[in-house]
């Protein structure tokens, strides 16, 4: 498996009845990234994991896209898992997790410009609201 990639395509379903975390991973996946802190990160997420998608304020949906945009879902899944497991990345966790988020956005065809804007918004939110160093 090459670096900065998934071992297989994540299969994602939507449960419209689950308002807080409507997205569900339908297969086990692994994502490998070796780009940060001189370290390889092997992220395993089990089938059944649920998350809320990309948290984008509704008033920005016309400009950026909504949480339902398919190119945002794999990146938001990995990023949400990392936020829920803060100890997984020991140094510069907020920064590294957001860099991985950006890499996956670009892997799924999001332009570098839009991915950079999303990176800045997510990183700022994490630093001010999520208590991550």
According to DSSP, the β-strands at 39-45 and 23-25 are: unpaired
Reported as a single tens digit per residue, the pLDDT across 75-101 is 999 999 999 998 888 788 889 999 999
Calpha distance 125→132 (Å, rounded): 10
User: Total domain count for the chain?
Assistant: 1
Instruction: Please tell me what DSSP assigns to residue 10.
Output: P
Tell me the whole-structure pTM to 2 decimals: 0.90
According to DSSP, the β-strands at 23-25 and 50-51 are: antiparallel
Q: Which domain holds residue 53?
A: 5-129
Q: Which of 110, 98, 37, 130 is nearest to 69 (CA)?
A: 110
Reported as a single tens digit per residue, the pLDDT across 39-56 is 889 999 999 999 999 888
């Amino acid at each position: 498996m090459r670096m900065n990639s998934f071992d297989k395509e994540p299969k994602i379903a939507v449960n419209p009845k689950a308002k807080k975390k409507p997205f569900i991973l339908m297969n086990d996946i692994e994502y490998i990234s070796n780009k940060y802190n001189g370290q390889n990160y092997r992220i395993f997420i089990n089938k059944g994991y649920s998350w809320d998608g990309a948290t984008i304020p509704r008033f920005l949906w016309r400009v950026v896209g909504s949480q339902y945009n398919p190119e945002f879902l794999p990146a938001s899944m990995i990023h949400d898992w990392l936020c829920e497991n803060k100890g997984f990345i020991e140094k510069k966790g907020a920064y590294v997790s957001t860099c991985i988020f950006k890499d996956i956005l670009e892997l799924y065809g999001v332009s570098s410009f839009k991915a950079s804007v999303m990176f800045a918004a997510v990183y700022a939110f994490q630093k001010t609201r999520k208590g991550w160093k």
